[in-house]
Amino acid sequence: MVTMGRGPYIMRTTMSDVARYCGVSLKTVSRVLNGESHVRSALRQRVLAAIKDLEYVAHAPARDLARGRSKVIGMVLPYVLSPYTNVLLDSILRRSNSFGYAVLVQPFPSMDNDLVIELWRSGQIDGLVIGEAGSYDRSIFVKLITQQTPCVLIQPNSSIKLGGLTVGIDVTDREGVQCAVEYMIELGHRRIAFMGYGTELTHMQDRLRGYSDALAQHNVPRDESLICIRSGDFAGGVDAARAVLKLNPRPTAAFAATDEMAVGAMQVCWELGVRIPDDLSIVGFDDIPLAEKLIPPLTTVKQPIDQIGTLAVELLLKMIASRSEVGQRHILKTKLCVRQSCGPVPSGL
């Protein structure tokens, strides 16, 4: 150990030290370390012996940079602070770290399209995961595909034509919501509100279609006054619930397009003395960790958020490694989690 300045520094063995020790070129040592086949057996054994004697340990970041990889994934998110995003980001971080990758998080709307492209072109990131991709300017996806940027889009709009090294991940939004609304209809509900957001987004259009499918399947007329579009967060749920609870006659059940909206609606019900599920049944979408801890626990359509994040990382790393063109969509299934926020239609209605 030697001392430089104020602190101690450990002198590490370098590849050059190994080369000098066994009398070979630096290139030969590199070939042995990379497992290349065109090195004579005797020479390989000499280099390996030197590596052992000198206790040489390859420096992974330097090795990856030499191979043209930064070992960093770029992650673009619509909003960093939301229960859905927190679960998604956690799964992406855990899976990336298990492969030795770090994650650079870029929040939207502060995302600079040119900056994201430049991060990849300059080698600072090896690829991108873009959450709720349907929320962004479509021009960025044209650039990503044209530049052959390894990229996974979560919930892309159907109008985005995937190609190059870009793939998409969706869930069965329409089928999930249809199942939820049919469950409420089976409990006797006919006036069922739909509280949604962002109807320009493909996945929200699919959720609204699922709502309409269930009504049509059971010959329940669709009442446009029961469809309330706000923001997809807690405040949006508060606003939507206040609006639909003013209707006369009032709905006996409500589907909220996110669990956050459902929680906002439950807050309004508590303020107004509307009992859940005795006076109003509520179903959400996402199955965030908070959902089963509420009073009453929230019935919700579970989308596999953790699986989405894990799959996004695995698909991206495959593209980074193989540089193969993919351009396909992967669809994961939703399922209804029945809890205590949903019950039979109130007697007399």
Instruction: Average the pLDDT over 323-332 and give the result.
Output: 84
pLDDT of residue 43: 86
Say how far residue 166 (Cα) sits from the centre of its chain.
Answer: 15
Q: What is the DSSP letter of 198?
A: -
- Cβ–Cβ < 8 Å for 274, 253: no
pLDDT of residue 180: 98
Residues 2-58, CATH architecture:
Orthogonal Bundle (1.10)
Fold of 173-302: Rossmann fold (3.40.50)
Instruction: Average the pLDDT over 4-32 and give the result.
Output: 68
Average pLDDT, the chain: 87
- 156, 186, 305 from 332: Cα distances, Å: 14, 26, 10
Length of the chain: 349
- Cβ–Cβ < 8 Å for 255, 179: no
pLDDT tens for each residue of 231-274: 999 999 999 999 999 999 999 999 999 999 999 999 999 999 99
Interatomic CA distance for residues 235 and 115, integer angstroms: 32
List the chain domain ranges: 2-58, 72-171+305-332, 173-302
Instruction: Average the pLDDT over 124-128 and give the result.
Output: 90
pLDDT of residue 249: 95
Work out the percent of the chain whose per-residue pLDDT is above 70.
Answer: 88
Confidence grade of residue 135 (pLDDT, cut at 50, 70, 90): confident
Is pLDDT at 40 greater than 60 in this prediction? yes
pLDDT of residue 57: 63
| DSSP states along 179-233 | HHHHHHHHTT---EEEEEE-TTSHHHHHHHHHHHHHHHHTTPPP-GGGEEEE-SS
The backbone torsions φ and ψ at residue 245, rounded to the nearest 5 degrees and listed phi first, read: -75, -10
Mention the CATH class of domain 72-171+305-332: alpha beta
Say how far residue 17 (Cα) sits from the centre of its chain.
Answer: 45
Fold match between 2-58 and 72-171+305-332?
A: no
- Cβ–Cβ < 8 Å for 257, 228: no
Q: Residue 156 corresponds to which amino acid?
A: P
- Cβ–Cβ < 8 Å for 234, 257: no
Angle between helices 113-121 and 139-146 (to 10 degrees): 10
Q: Which two tokens stand for residue 214?
A: 């269930």
Instruction: Average the pLDDT over 324-332 and give the result.
Output: 85
pLDDT tens for each residue of 150-203: 999 999 988 788 888 899 999 999 999 999 999 999 999 999 999 999 999 999
Q: What is the DSSP letter of 284?
A: E
This prediction's pTM: 0.80
Q: Residue 213 corresponds to which amino acid?
A: D
